[in-house]
Amino acid sequence: MVTYAAPLDDIRFLLYDLLDYEGQVAALPGYEEANRELVDAVLEEGARFCQNELLPLNRPGDEAGCRFENGVVRTPDGFKALYDSFCEAGWNGLSLNPDYGGQGLPKTLQFVMTELICSTNLSFGMYPGLTHGACNALEMHGSDDQKRTFLPNMIHGRWSGTMCLTEPHCGTDLGLIRTRAEPMGAAPDGESKYSITGTKIFISAGEHDLSENIVHLVLAKLPDAPEGTKGISLFIVPKFLVKEDGSPGTRNGVACGSIEHKMGIKASSTCVMNFDAAEGYLVGQPHSGMAKMFTMMNVARLDVGIQGLGLAETAYQSAAAYAKERLQGRSLAGPAYPEKAADPIIVHPDVRRNLLTMRALNEGARALALWVAIAVDVAEKHPDAAKRQEADDLVALMTPIIKSFFTDYGFEATNLGMQVYGGHGYIREHGMEQLVRDARIAQIYEGANGIQALDLVGRKLGQNMGRLLRRFFHPVQGYVEAKMTRPELAEFVAPLAKSLSRLQQSTLWIAQQGLKDPEEAGAAAADYLNLFAYTALAYLWTRMAEASLAQQDGDSAAFHEAKLATARFFFQRLLPKSSGHFSAIMAGKAPIMAMKEAAF
């Protein structure tokens, strides 16, 4: 069993001491009741539920996996009861619209809860996570009738949701999909019906025994569809057709053909879904499905980034606990515990390097995630349209960075945790090898990380004449200029300023070279995203250091002392990686593209 306790002290520090949750979020219209007292109560109860209910089923769920029997998917023992408890407690609708049964709490709290769920049972979290994304898409794009029909049951958890995009011959290039939608006429309530036929693969939660109905959001093409992504439409295709009284009726023409046998997240059903003249309902206008599905995908990409953070946090806590207990060798400085047969391995520099790498990235990533989470709430609720646009721009800019960097480092962190355990980490008993296996998929699904890097340099950099970039560069540059003369912050602000300068230089270089040769931008993309991520973490680590320097006394002194020690490790041992990414960018495409294809 892994070691995990929800990092509530760190979360509270970020919300209240660093990011001004009360002034930024609790002051927004509709969130007045989501004050610190309520938030703390939600955090405590969420931590209790995840630690006491989700975590104990994580390893048994991985060992049992899902079973496919006669077209039916069975989740591991205990998952159905756990799902019912999860929904009855209201976690399924935590941040969803109260008009349809949700609690209407800030998205910031949903981000926090997502981390706790992913830390304790990622496979389980896939089921409500997919439903949450489907609800967001339907609320934004569905008709009033569609919302009334589907959202209350989905928010409660009686019904669940999916998104069906990928097909056997296409994943990233969805313009190649072959799933067809043929008009069937109108239903008695006037809703236009369509016959959906095709096969979708890699569908998370596509079939299971947790909910009484599953609402699939399916991309398909109408007979008159234009070529490519401009010809994609979005359809609602329920597993069971809905009767007039709102209850599930006859089985629709959609069935699971098989489930995948995967490296990780084995208790999450990943399905091949066959649509055979299934009845579906168009969401919005024809040929506008990609834009609507991106509502769900963008939320999912942020959630996937949080998956990397959640697993990395559990890996860190487990490895730190093990390093304090495992006796092996003696400290290089002389016996630290002479009364014992050997010293605990935490005395060794290399073990500490691994642990501090995990910790520094976790705490920096959590700060970045919550900074963006607050922007999500501001973008949705702020009364000033200009403020909403600024916040939305920041979210759009940071989404590919969070998805890609968090999942790359999350996989690295779980491997570092395994390294701390040594041979005991490689076997199943301690749970570390499951964290490694579960973490690997996050770098691939919801848009592989290479695609995220291309999105950043190919779309976000030039969008609206660089407006998105200004949402990051301007506040960070302003902060550096304001703090540069503070001697107590010099050890943090100076390296932040250097990293920011490299990021600005590389941004200009990519903009200039990419206009002349798109391959130059493509070759720089991954390193640019990582340089951006390290600079963003440096900005937030500087702010965290400043906040901790102001709180050196009192009951939290030990917390802030550790925060400052971790900050110094980040700046002196991790941020130097940003110069390597800068050098790689400036090398251009030649080292990558010069080799002839036949030589590979």
- CB-CB contact of 204 with 296 (8 Å): no
Among 190, 192, 219, CA closest to 203: 219
Ranges assigned E (strand) in 50-102: 67-69, 72-74
For every residue of 295-323, DSSP letters joined together read HHHHHHHHHHHHHHHHHHHHHHHHHHHHH
Ranges assigned E (strand) in 143-247: 159-164, 180-186, 192-204, 213-221, 232-238, 240-242
- Max distance between CA atoms of the chain, in angstroms, equals 83
What is the separation of C-alpha 593 from the centre of its chain, rounded to a whole number of angstroms? 32
In 3-state terms, what secondary structure has residue 337?
coil
Is 446 assigned a catalytic role?
yes
- CB-CB contact of 566 with 356 (8 Å): yes
Token output for 38: 């309520």
Q: Residue 286 carries which DSSP code? A: T
Alpha carbon separation from 342 to 107, 239, 299, 331, 346 (Å, rounded): 48, 60, 49, 9, 12
Single-letter amino acid, residue 524: A
Burial of 16 (0-12, 13-18, 19+ CB in 10 A): middle
- CB-CB contact of 22 with 35 (8 Å): yes
Gap between the Cα atoms of 568 and 557, Å rounded: 17
Alpha carbon separation from 255 to 156, 273, 276, 450, 558 (Å, rounded): 24, 6, 8, 32, 56
Of 167, 390, 446, 546, the catalytic one is: 446
**What pairs with residue 282 in β-bridges?**
235
- CB-CB contact of 137 with 246 (8 Å): no
User: Each residue of 434-454: b (16+ CB within 10 Å) or e?
Assistant: bbbbbbbbbbebbbbbbbbbb
- CB-CB contact of 154 with 134 (8 Å): yes
**What pairs with residue 218 in β-bridges?**
164, 235
Active site residues: 446
